[in-house]
Amino acid sequence: MHHQDETHLETNPYLCRVWHRIGTQPVLPAAGTNRRVTVFGSAEVFGRGRVEVVCEGQDSACFLRYLEALERRRRETGREVILVLDNGPAHTSRVSRAALLEREGWLHPIWLARYSPHPNLKEREWRCLKRDARSHLADGLREFVEGILAGLKRLGGERLDIEDRVEEWFIAGHRKKPTGRPPGRPKGAKDKRPRKPYQRKNLSAGT
């Protein structure tokens, strides 16, 4: 049985309790432009291990990457999986539900009630991860991702399936995947809905 969930990790340091002198306001360094990645992960109930996938977004495509990692683990272990997950948009989309149905022979999802994160054991690990791995400012995006991977390994388990699926365009500093086209509006582009020509109305003369 795997308890699955996802969380955001930002480049700005995670705010937690710190020691400071009375009357002195603690100051934390911050990144110039805040960036974040998402971790899709699950932990087995009896501590046999975990499956963690670090991605650059929180959508159905990233959830499918997690299902692929879970399927590889299943082929190597030969065990069926009971997956406990919430009703997040990445789980309940049409693409995600179709992917879950394709794996119904060995994957058995259990949906939690809405707005009830407490039964999910994975929720408790995110606080430890953010406290230990995100309490400082990383030197760069690559060091930021490497620190998250190291923090996931410190969570422990007999078998660790941790994958770095962050795309290189994210490490290069882009917010979206580059299309390869030059910036700006392409030449000769036309609107899908052409604007109506301006029609001047003849106003009646004042009386």
Residue 104 located in a structural domain = yes
Q: In terms of residue numbers, what domain contains 166? A: 2-12+31-171
pLDDT digits (tens, 9 = 90+) for 72-92: 999 998 999 999 999 999 999
Query: DSSP H helical segments within the chain, as ranges?
Result: 60-77, 89-92, 94-102, 123-133, 141-154, 168-171
Q: Which pLDDT score is estimated for 204?
A: 65
Q: Which pLDDT score is estimated for 205?
A: 64
What's the rounded Cα separation, in Å, for the pair 51 and 63?
A: 12
Residue 202 located in a structural domain = no
pLDDT digits (tens, 9 = 90+) for 110-167: 999 988 888 888 988 998 899 888 888 888 999 999 999 999 999 988 899 999 999 9
For residue 161, with 0-12 CB atoms within 10 Å meaning exposed, 13-18 middle and 19 or more buried, which class applies? middle
Residue 118 located in a structural domain = yes
Q: Which pLDDT score is estimated for 202?
A: 67
Confidence of residue 206 (pLDDT cuts 50, 70, 90): low
User: How many structural domains comprise the chain?
Assistant: 1
Does 202 or 69 have the greater pLDDT score? 69
Residue 158's CATH number:
3.30.420.10
